[in-house]
Amino acid sequence: MFRRLLAAGVLAMAAFSSSALAGDPLAATAAANGSACTAARPFYWEIGDVGGPLVSGQVGGTLYNRNSRMNLASASKWPLGAYILERYAGAPPPAVRDAAFMLTGYKPFNQLLCTLAPTVKGCFNMIGNNVQDPGAVGEFFYSGGNSQYVAASPSLLDMGDFTTAQLTAEVQLTLGTTMEYQYPALPAGLEGSAAEYAEFLIRMMTPPASGGLVMHDHLGVDTIPTLPCPPGQSGCTAAGTVAWSYGYHYWIEDNATAGQFNPPLSPVVGPGDGAYSSAGAWGFYPWISADKSLYGIVARRGLLGTAFRASAICGQAIRYAYTGYTP
């Protein structure tokens, strides 16, 4: 069904796919097995275009494959951004947009507490999750609290009484995805596989007129800077010292600087390639190239606090190798 809906989209994207066909699968495979990805092992990875995977592999064992389901953590945020744009036909009200851009001042958010909550509102009202810092209002501060606030608010998304099952049904219907919420936390509660997330990425790469998502027209268009942190604030971005921009619940890897990801974790220095991404805390790292011709995924579930960075570094190295990009 999904492939039939995308048939016209594949034709429309043919021009974009030329860069995908010119990629270097051998270089990507070498990068996946190289030093930049050591800290991410074991993992599954793939790079594809609107037609599906072009190159893929398993590194460090066979624990993860294309159909392995796992908690996506903050990779859940990109589907939320896409949901918001679909629901409001690309023009959400200012308050909803501010929450999507992490500007509402709800800084703390403990997703694990939300595993105990019966509803979206219950997750937001868990200890600390509904605390607003007046000094952070109007300033970028990366936190799931922004997302949960807008979802629970009766005057905004009005999803406060949604159970996990209702939340899953709503987002699946709107986005055409089969990913499911494990608990009612919109910014962190999705579970899915590389295969399921790839179909979501393909839908974002496809123009709305060809059966894709509204997000397609907003990738790289509506963005805000994330660094430096506002006066009196610290830790405003989960990306550490990387000066990436932020859009509707996704990163734009546009101007990373030497020392990104708190060295010595990262071997990559220099400007970013402008790809769009949404890495999760446990290491699930999806991306779309700046020209929207390619997507990629590093799929794993790590337990260390560095899992986010390790997967992003690895996925970045694989992408750079495939496309020939040099920072």
Backbone phi, then psi, for 288, in 5-degree steps? Answer: -130, 135
Side-chain half-sphere of 72: how many Cα atoms within 13 Å? 33
First to last CA, the chain: 40
| Dihedral-angle region of residue 177 (phi above 0 means left; psi in -120 to 50 means alpha; beta otherwise) | beta
**CA 325/CA 327 separation, integer angstroms:** 7
DSSP SS3 for 251: strand
- Dihedral sign (CA 146, 147, 148, 149): positive
Beta bridge partners of 49: 52
Q: Do the beta carbons of residue 255 and residue 300 sit within 8 Å?
A: no
Alpha-carbon gap, residue 183 to 111, rounded angstroms: 9
Coil, strand or helix at 276: strand
CB 120 within 8 A of CB 154: no
Q: What is the pLDDT along the chain (327 residues), one digit of tens a residue?
A: 333 334 333 333 333 333 445 799 999 999 999 999 999 999 999 999 999 999 999 999 999 999 999 999 999 999 999 999 999 999 999 999 999 999 999 988 998 899 999 999 999 999 889 999 888 899 898 899 999 999 999 999 999 999 999 999 999 999 999 999 999 999 999 999 999 999 999 999 999 999 999 999 999 998 988 888 877 777 788 766 577 889 999 999 987 543 344 433 344 456 789 999 999 999 999 999 999 999 999 999 998 778 988 999 999 999 999 999 987
Phi–psi pair at 251, nearest 5 degrees? -90, 150
